[in-house]
């Protein structure tokens, strides 16, 4: 490709892109962006702001209440399960007794009984 041709390509590209209409900025977009700034509570040292920034890193783009709700529901479910469900390793004393009693019995087999 010659230098003249390169220059023509550059001139053409420049001209055609400059002819494009300007992109308009909706006021709603500015409000959304500033809304994010307010939501993140950009005040260092404030607990809410810090939590909001941590929430933003863990779960970007959602309001803080969503990850907080999921965390709270998970906590409640975990506590409920811990309080009411028996742990899988536990053995009831009654089942222990049955096993011990069975082992304590002597085998009483009379081999002549069937004859």
Q: Least distance in Å: CB of 51 to another protein?
A: 13
Give yes or no for residue 58 binding another protein (CB under 8 A). Answer: no
Q: Which stretch binds another protein (CB under 8 A): 32-40, 69-77, 78-86, 87-95?
A: 32-40
Quick check: helix, strand or coil at residue 96?
A: helix
Give yes or no for residue 16 binding another protein (CB under 8 A). Answer: yes
What single DSSP character describes residue 107? P
Closest CB to another protein among residues 45, 93: 45
Say if residues 52 and 40 touch (Cβ distance below 8 Å).
yes
Closest CB to another protein among residues 37, 84: 37
The CA–CA distances, whole Å, from 57 to 11, 92, 100 equal: 44, 46, 57
């Amino acid at each position: 490709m010659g230098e003249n041709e390169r220059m023509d390509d550059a001139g053409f590209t420049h001209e055609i892109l400059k002819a494009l209409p300007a992109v308009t900025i909706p006021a709603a977009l500015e409000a959304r962006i500033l809304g994010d700034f307010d939501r993140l509570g950009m005040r260092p040292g404030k607990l809410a702001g810090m939590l909001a920034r941590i929430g933003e890193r863990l779960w970007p783009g959602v309001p803080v209440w969503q990850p907080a709700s999921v965390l709270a529901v998970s906590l409640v479910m975990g506590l409920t399960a811990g309080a009411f469900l028996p742990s899988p390793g536990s053995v009831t004393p009654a089942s222990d007794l049955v096993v011990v009693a069975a082992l304590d019995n002597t085998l009483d087999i009379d081999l002549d009984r069937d004859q």
